[in-house]
Structure 1
Amino acid sequence: MVFACCNIFAEEINDSPIEQVRLTVPITDDPTLPCLTFRTWVLGLTSCAILAFLNQFFGYRQNPLYVSSVSAQIVVLPIGKFMAATLPTKPIKIPMTKWSFSLNPGPFNLKEHVLITIFANSGSNSVYAVNIVTIVKAFYHKNLHPFAALLLTQTTQMLGYGWAGIFRKYLVDSPYMWWPSNLVQVSLFRALHEKEVRPKRGQTRLQFFLMVLTASFAYYIVPNYLFPSITALSFVCWIWKDSVTAQQLGSGLHGLGIGSFALDWSAASSFLGSPLATPGFAVANVLGGFFMILYVLIPIAYWTNSYDAKKFPIFSSHVFDSTGTTYNSSRILDEKNFRFDQPSYDGYSKIHLSIFFAFTYGLSFATLTATLSHVALFHGRSIWRMWNQTKAMIREQGGDVHTRLMRKYDAVPQWWFYTILVLMIALAIVACEGFGKQLQLPYWGILLACALAFIFTLPIGIITATTNQQPGLNVITELVIGYLYPGKPLANVAFKTYGYISMSQAVMFLADFKLGHYMKIPPKSMFIVQLAGTLLSSSVYFGTAWWLLTSIENICDPKNLPEGSPWTCPGDDVFYNASIIWGVVGPQRMFGNLGLYTRTNWFFLIGLLAPVPVWFFSKKFPDKKWIRLINMPIIFGATMIMPPARAVNYITWGTIGIIFNFYIYRKYKGWWARHNYILSAGLDAGVAFMAILCYFTLQNKDINGIKWWGLDLDDHCPLATCPTAPGVVVDGCPVF
């Protein structure tokens, strides 16, 4: 027994103290492998630019496809090997210097592949600040200086480097901060670089990927161009064509979606991410929350007429006035100064929300406090223990084998991070205070947002690094600036972006640094790639958005778009309405003592207490392992992206997730382990390539297909958005 314990202790000294890391991450390194090669730069920058373009391009569409870095991770492998087999190996001298480089320094290696994937990660992560540019130009119809907009996108993305640099020794170097999500990437890298022999009557992983990509590419012309209506098939509406209630229940796009589904991969993956890559327990929690909220809470609230719910659509992200018509925000905005006009507001109407949107904010409050409560109860003791071990490790300059192996490489100087931090804060102040103060946020707002990001980066980093859950700061930031500086819509969204996204970016940078730590990438190479990728991706996201906003007529305006046009901007529509709620009117007039929705503040308390009974029963019945898998933050936050996501997206996503991550995972685990993630990447890539081909060859030339009912990007449930309160008049709806 003593001998066994000594062996375990020795194993942890020579490996990682975290079992999952010991089982996944190799403890070897080859420091002779080249990293920042010609292949790395060409394939990395190309992957970054393509993914940034695709994700922003698709971000304005009805089903905003998300193309993850996994697609690039798989696609660049054969290209890298092809370059290694064909490019010349002779060194190329740089004129007037002693430097030289090789186009082909040897076989395409794992470290090059990791750095290319880090480039791709930069391109696959959206630029939140582009939402601000979109609502200014497409919703408020105001001018915005392009350089101010570019500075906004760059500074919000780059500020995170400062916070990451300050806390990296705690969140990266420590073996107890293990970042569970990175282990999936490590596993995939190992699978792709292990030598593979094609099984008898089977395919290699690469052959399977190419087969799926081809099939997905060929099929996607149907939902994207020939038959867009199959992105939401709502049979209940078609059976009861004249019933408002039936269409409210059955519409997958504008109602509760009972019986609706989609025959379109992008409908399943566009909002919730790939259902194939979501763990089974998370799928179950999301679906549990979805069904309880959509089929229990919302019907009870609507048909008991809570908050005058029957005056408005049952499901909508828009804001309404007291008569049930869409709120005219221009009536409460001072056109000259673009700020809240109190007398006009008093003479017009308070803002009303659909019952679903009202509960969306209440549930966001519950999710915030439930996350803190859940993490404290279920992970608090282990996080505290790991934090104490981390501090002890840093004092003693010890560490696990991965930390010791990384000491062979030069660390990134701390002044690199501080320089970027100071420069970005200065440029952020220029962006907001300069250019006629178009962004409305004063310098003290920038500094306060930075203070919030600084305070929360370490605790949220610890939570994410140990539990794989990342609480967001969007609600806190909106509340803070909404109370301090009401009536300024752009100041509100800019403050939220600087406070929330710079912290989120810091956590992303730290996660990438930890991936490099596991894969033994020189820290300076990681830093250079992250920096170059962030600058490039931010520029491409901004450039793509600006191009689409200035070239597509009536973009983001479904009422005036041509029939079949996909450019409806569902995510930006929600962002715009949030800017009215939190920025123009302000939280005090919505959720405070001057508002209609003060009772939603009880959700803060509900969220705080909800994890307690789950924790209690998990302790009382430790043999019931399923109790610990009940995750109240996920359940409360299940419908947080509705809208812009719709019921049909959840139903399709959940169906696929249940099939693959419960049935196939349990019955055909070998197939699942070998093919599941590659299937997801192939489906994503095929959809992306066909959508781009259709746009540039057909849709860009206004060739939108044969005119028929299936061309509509709609589920043909026109009565689903109708109110049911007596006397409310809405075009196209019966009056009760």
Structure 2
Amino acid sequence: LNLIDYLTTNNRCLVSSVTRIRRTSLVNNDFIDSEQSSYEEIAATIPNKDDPSMPCLTFKSCLLSFLFIVIMSMVHQIFWYYKVKFAIYPISVILLSYPLAKLLNVILPRKSIRIYHWNMSLNPTGHFTVKEHTIIAIAANVCWNYRNTYFYSNSELNYYLSNMKFEIGFFLNISIQLLGYGLAGLMRKFLVWPSGLIWPSTFPIIAALRTLHDAGRKRKQWKITYSTFFLIALVCQFIYCWFPHYIMIVLTAFSLICIIRPNNLLLAQITGDQGLGLGSFVFDWYSITQYLGSPVILPTWALWNILVGFIIVSWIMTPIIYYTNTWYSKAYPIAMFGVLIPDNKYKPYVSFNAEGVKTIVGLDSNNQTVYQVYQTGYMSAMSIVSSSATLACLTAVIVHTILYHSTDIREQFKTSVSSKGNDVHCKLMSKYPDIRGWWFLALFLMSLIVSLITVQFSSLMPWYDVLLAILVAFLFVLPFGILTSITGQIIQNQSVAIICMTIGSALLKRNSSLQTFKAFSYTTFCQTLYFVSNMKLGHYMKIKPRVMFFTQTATCLLCSIISYCTQYFIVHNIKGVCNGTYTGWSCQNSLSIFDNSPLANNGLYFKGMNYNIFLWSFLIGAILPLPFWLLRWKFPNSRWLKYVHIPLMLTLTSWMPNVSTSTFISWLTVGLLCNWLVGKLWWRRYVYLFSAAMDAGSNICLILIGAILTSQNVTFPEWWGTRAMCPLSNADSVGTIFSLNWMG
């Protein structure tokens, strides 16, 4: 194994002896079977054989992909502004496309049609192949990732530039997406081809795809088939989801101790959902996975590292900061998110102006700036600690990458997919013509030129700042890509977001320029890793590289165009969409990043007087991996040293307190419990199916609740299960309850 495989192997208890399977090969080489992967998750989920003659880019797959691209792009953009917030998950697209494809099998003729000089069969095989289904899944993934990144980073630009010309936003939108894809293609040899970079986030989708196309298959150890298990789990989750989201909302933040003693302030702070969360639990899959992703795909060693980081941040450092009243933290709730602007009563005052943009009440725009007001702001105790962990994570992941992965990174410069002989999937993929690196380089350079021209003519920011923003994204793609691909962490990263905004705010004065800088840095960073993850999905499912290139490029263009045109139409044709005069529509979602921008623009860390001591977090993060690396070098046979991963301890804690402690506890409990139960290889595919079924059941239920009930203001009758059980968990030290309906 190469170094990355060796390090990953020693970081995990996942390696079994390589199972050798009898090689079979037909004379015409149309079916290839090879040895199994040495990673248990891959061996349990990913097929170790390929049929090169199986069609993938067909009329059916293109038609259904286009249909769902249009639906997902429009639905996500429209409901981003509507009061009912819901989305279409890729797993739902996988399920819906299956019966539609079966219907097309019956309707479409088998004969070929001639288009100019090409012959094309509308239904070449007469059945729906798993590779065709994978093409649809990849297209759905691209649309979903667009929502997760571009929406959260760029939607607010229209509120800084209300007179933005259509063509400026149009080309800005497309160029940012293709910059990420071009950069992803250049990173294939570092993040896709190495066998040790397993990308666990792809496993539930692959498990669902294989289940739908191997409907009758089952394991000898269990009588239930994969498809039956998936269907049962989906239906059960669909039925149960109605309780925490409509009938019994208390299940989304349940604390028995707080229910028994609701008026005890100390118990509320310790056990409440908005406090330290001891004894609090979330009984809702959607709430658990909304920010952190599925916990069952992470390996056990990764969950233990995250648990250690969570305990240090939440249950050790936060109480010390709060109960010693450091930085006046007792004046605020122990775990409130955001920056608080105090008056003489230490309460935040934020409102919406006529355009729907949040403003600070009492701010004299002639004499004060948002920067000056925020420079005197304060944060809750947990925000202080988690923000420090966020800063430390940046330097920790860079140092960790240099110490543990630098040798392998150097080796990857000289390799190709055909030379990765140690990996069964690279062997199978080497049968197909690869894409030359200049394809992605040309795409990247063309997108860069369009970006520079667009920014220069729009006066959003100087053209050379675009180059700096892309450089920042490039520097963090590889270290965080390795971290994500090994551990299964979510791609969205608070550490990278904050450093992008910090650099932007140091160079640029206008908020519109700051948001543009963040779009070219953080959005490019996220999109690059999302596209890399999709490439790994295609790699596992043996999709031809050139088909992958066409699929992702076409989907990226279509999704960007449809989404931006829909957004432009809503903002410029629906009067009062932002100030609340048009019932049911709101721009508050699009302002979520604007709310966070003062965190980097205010100088709390870099220019202010309150928290600049925490700049030492950068140095602490750089030092922390060193002693464990030295100890591991000194004691190579030590078992526990193999599992220590400092960046992993820090990265997820940066989401607190936006993600509550009770959500973290529930997420870790589910992950550790599933990993403990999965004692054998054959169980793992059921676990990934379970994750996919939970996502699908929740998504279908939430769409129905939003479309049928919430949109019509139909609420469940009030009873014990719909009331807030622990309001004092969001109170300061004297019991003053802070409202959550404010900044952040």
- What is the TM-score with the length of structure 2 in the denominator? 0.79
The equivalent of 1:216 in structure 2 is 237
The equivalent of 2:594 in structure 1 is 576
In the alignment, does 2:156 pair up with 1:130?
Answer: no
Deviation at 1:342, TM superposition (A): 5.7
Amino acid at match of 1:352: Y
Which of 419, 424, 436 is residue 447 of structure 2 equivalent to? 424
Deviation at 1:428, TM superposition (A): 3.3
The equivalent of 1:528 in structure 2 is 550
The equivalent of 1:724 in structure 2 is 733
In structure 2, do the counterparts of structure 1 residues 347 and 163 end up closer, same or farther at CA, with 3 Å as the change threshold?
closer
The equivalent of 1:693 in structure 2 is 704
Deviation at 1:362, TM superposition (A): 0.9
- CA distance in 1: counterparts of 2:544 and 2:265, whole angstroms: 62
In structure 2, do the counterparts of structure 1 residues 499 and 647 end up closer, same or farther at CA, with 3 Å as the change threshold?
same
The equivalent of 2:503 in structure 1 is 480
- Name the stretch that deviates more: 451-460 or 273-282: 451-460
Measured on the aligned residues, the alpha-carbon RMSD in Å equals 4.5
The equivalent of 1:227 in structure 2 is 248
- CA distance in 2: counterparts of 1:388 and 1:720, whole angstroms: 51
What SS does structure 2 have at the residue aligned with 1:366?
Answer: helix
Deviation at 1:591, TM superposition (A): 1.2
In the alignment, does 2:60 pair up with 1:39?
Answer: yes
Deviation at 1:459, TM superposition (A): 5.8
The equivalent of 1:93 in structure 2 is 113
Which of 622, 626, 629 is residue 640 of structure 2 equivalent to? 626
Deviation at 1:419, TM superposition (A): 4.7
Which of 503, 507, 513 is residue 491 of structure 1 equivalent to? 513
Matched-pair contact (CA < 8 Å) for 1:159–1:425: yes
In the alignment, does 2:611 pair up with 1:597?
Answer: yes
Deviation at 1:363, TM superposition (A): 0.8
Matched-pair contact (CA < 8 Å) for 1:228–1:711: yes
Matched-pair contact (CA < 8 Å) for 2:153–2:518: no
Which of 302, 319, 330 is residue 299 of structure 1 equivalent to? 319
Which of 260, 269, 280 is residue 280 of structure 2 equivalent to? 260
- Name the stretch that deviates more: 415-424 or 191-200: 191-200
- CA distance in 1: counterparts of 2:500 and 2:605, whole angstroms: 15
For 1:142-221, list aligned pairs within 5 A.
Answer: 149=169, 151-168=171-188, 172=192, 178-181=197-200, 184=203, 193-194=213-214, 196-197=216-217, 202-221=223-242
In structure 2, do the counterparts of structure 1 residues 237 and 31 end up closer, same or farther at CA, with 3 Å as the change threshold?
closer
In the alignment, does 2:392 pair up with 1:358?
Answer: no
Deviation at 1:633, TM superposition (A): 1.5
Matched-pair contact (CA < 8 Å) for 1:163–1:503: no
In structure 2, do the counterparts of structure 1 residues 603 and 387 end up closer, same or farther at CA, with 3 Å as the change threshold?
closer
In structure 2, do the counterparts of structure 1 residues 678 and 58 end up closer, same or farther at CA, with 3 Å as the change threshold?
farther
Amino acid at match of 1:625: R
The equivalent of 2:688 in structure 1 is 677
The equivalent of 1:665 in structure 2 is 678
Matched-pair contact (CA < 8 Å) for 1:255–1:314: yes
- What is the TM-score with the length of structure 1 in the denominator? 0.79
- CA distance in 2: counterparts of 1:62 and 1:537, whole angstroms: 23
- CA distance in 2: counterparts of 1:545 and 1:607, whole angstroms: 41
Matched-pair contact (CA < 8 Å) for 1:87–1:104: no
- CA distance in 2: counterparts of 1:346 and 1:432, whole angstroms: 28
In structure 2, do the counterparts of structure 1 residues 535 and 345 end up closer, same or farther at CA, with 3 Å as the change threshold?
closer
- CA distance in 2: counterparts of 1:62 and 1:638, whole angstroms: 29
What SS does structure 2 have at the residue aligned with 1:216?
Answer: helix
For 1:436-455, list aligned pairs within 5 A.
Answer: 437=459, 440-455=460-475
- CA distance in 2: counterparts of 1:286 and 1:60, whole angstroms: 35
Which of 638, 644, 663 is residue 649 of structure 1 equivalent to? 663
Deviation at 1:167, TM superposition (A): 4.3
What SS does structure 2 have at the residue aligned with 1:100?
Answer: strand
In the alignment, does 2:677 pair up with 1:636?
Answer: no
CA-to-aligned-CA distance 1:340-386 (integer Å, 9 cap, x gap): x7678658961222222222221101111222233333x23xx41x3
- CA distance in 2: counterparts of 1:629 and 1:273, whole angstroms: 22
CA-to-aligned-CA distance 1:437-481 (integer Å, 9 cap, x gap): 5xx433222222123334554565566667767786323322222
Amino acid at match of 1:478: M
Matched-pair contact (CA < 8 Å) for 1:16–1:402: no
The equivalent of 1:610 in structure 2 is 624
Which of 512, 534, 539 is residue 512 of structure 1 equivalent to? 534
In structure 2, do the counterparts of structure 1 residues 123 and 300 end up closer, same or farther at CA, with 3 Å as the change threshold?
same
- CA distance in 2: counterparts of 1:280 and 1:143, whole angstroms: 51
In the alignment, does 2:123 pair up with 1:113?
Answer: no
Matched-pair contact (CA < 8 Å) for 1:67–1:684: no
Matched-pair contact (CA < 8 Å) for 2:632–2:638: yes
For 1:239-254, list aligned pairs within 5 A.
Answer: 239-252=260-273, 254=274
Matched-pair contact (CA < 8 Å) for 2:61–2:135: yes
% identity of equivalent residues? 28
Matched-pair contact (CA < 8 Å) for 1:581–1:590: yes
Deviation at 1:301, TM superposition (A): 0.2
Matched-pair contact (CA < 8 Å) for 2:91–2:695: no
Which of 293, 312, 328 is residue 308 of structure 1 equivalent to? 328
CA-to-aligned-CA distance 1:110-136 (integer Å, 9 cap, x gap): 322332221122133244232245556
- CA distance in 2: counterparts of 1:718 and 1:561, whole angstroms: 32
Mark the runs of 5 or more structure 2 residues left unpaired by the alignment. 1-18, 24-32, 351-358
For 1:401-420, list aligned pairs within 5 A.
Answer: 406=429, 409-412=432-435, 416-420=439-443
What SS does structure 1 have at the residue aligned with 2:394?
Answer: helix
Matched-pair contact (CA < 8 Å) for 2:390–2:654: yes
Matched-pair contact (CA < 8 Å) for 1:54–1:688: no
In structure 2, do the counterparts of structure 1 residues 623 and 136 end up closer, same or farther at CA, with 3 Å as the change threshold?
same
- CA distance in 1: counterparts of 2:116 and 2:645, whole angstroms: 62
Amino acid at match of 2:322: Y
What SS does structure 1 have at the residue aligned with 2:652?
Answer: coil
In structure 2, do the counterparts of structure 1 residues 399 and 353 end up closer, same or farther at CA, with 3 Å as the change threshold?
closer
In structure 2, do the counterparts of structure 1 residues 442 and 362 end up closer, same or farther at CA, with 3 Å as the change threshold?
same
Matched-pair contact (CA < 8 Å) for 1:180–1:465: yes
In structure 2, do the counterparts of structure 1 residues 18 and 697 end up closer, same or farther at CA, with 3 Å as the change threshold?
closer
